[in-house]
Amino acid sequence: MNNFNKFLITLTLILAVTYGYVIVTNKPWSKYYYQAFAFYPNDFPIEISQCKFTSNSEKQVDYDYYSEINVSDYVAWSSGGYSSQTNKKRFLPDNIYLEYIDLQTKAYYRDTIPLPKSKMEDIFKKAKQKYMLQNLDTYYTRMGLTLHIGIANDGNILVWIGNTDKPKTFQIEVLRTKILPKKFPKQWNNKTEVLMEQVLKNVSEEKLKALEKGIDSTANYKDSIPRGFKNLITNL
C-alpha cells in the first residue's frame, strides 16, 4: 500500500469520525418544528416583560416573544398574546423564563420554570406516528405542534401542547405550577407606582377596560379552559 492510499484511508476515517460526531452532537432525531403562544385571561391583564425558552446546555434556545398578536378564538382567556414560530427544527426547551407584572394587584413575577421535556418529546413522537402534527407554514414543509403558555392569576402557570388545526385538534396539559411574586428589581428603584404609570401608558385599551372592571376575587382562571381547547385530552 503506497503512501497516497494510506493518506486516503486516513482522510476517510477522519471524515467518518467527524461526521459521526456531528450527528451525535446535533441529535437531529430530537429536533422538532414548533410554535408557541403566551396568553392570559381577559379579566386578568398583565404586562409581559420577558417570556422565553431556555436550555440547560450552554446554548440558549433562541426564542423570545415580543410581537403581540390577536388570539381571538379564546374567550375565557386573553385576546392578546405573544408568539414565536420556528423556521427550522430545534431541540425542545428545558425551561420557560417568565417575567411579568400583574396590573390588577401590581405584583411582580419572575421565575425560571422547568418543563417536562421527556413528556413533551413523547407527545411529539406519538403525534408524528399518528399523523397528527400540524402544518406550520404555507407549503406544508414544516409539520409540528403548538405550545401554549397560560398565565393565570396568583402566579399560576399552565402549559399545553397540541395541534390547533382542524379536524385534528387536540390539546394536552403538560405542566401546571405556581410561581411567587418577587420584589421589584433594584434597577427599577422599587418605585412601583412610577413604574406602573409607565406600564399603563403602554397597555392596550382592552387591558385598561379589564382593570376598570376589576378582577373577580373568587375566579380560578387556572381551572378554566379556553374555547379553542374544547378538545382537551390527557394523552395520545
pLDDT tens profile 111-168? 999 999 999 999 999 999 999 999 888 777 889 998 888 898 899 999 999 888 877 7
**Residue 145: predicted pLDDT:** 92
Domain containing residue 187: 27-233
Are the CB atoms for 175 and 158 separated by under 8 Å? Answer: yes
**Residue 58: predicted pLDDT:** 57
**Residue 11: predicted pLDDT:** 58
List Cβ neighbours of 6 (8 Å cut-off, separation of 6 or more).
none
In a domain, 118, yes or no: yes
Residues of the chain with pLDDT under 70: 1-29, 58-86, 188-192, 215-218, 227-228, 230
**Residue 129: predicted pLDDT:** 93
**Residue 118: predicted pLDDT:** 94
In a domain, 169, yes or no: yes
Domains held by the chain: number? 1
List Cβ neighbours of 151 (8 Å cut-off, separation of 6 or more).
38, 39, 40, 46, 48, 98, 100, 157
In a domain, 189, yes or no: yes
- CA 13 to the chain's CA centroid: 42
In a domain, 22, yes or no: no
In a domain, 21, yes or no: no
In a domain, 48, yes or no: yes
- The residues with which 171 forms a beta bridge, in sequence order, are 162, 232
Q: What nine digits make up the cell of 181?
A: 411574586
**Residue 65: predicted pLDDT:** 47
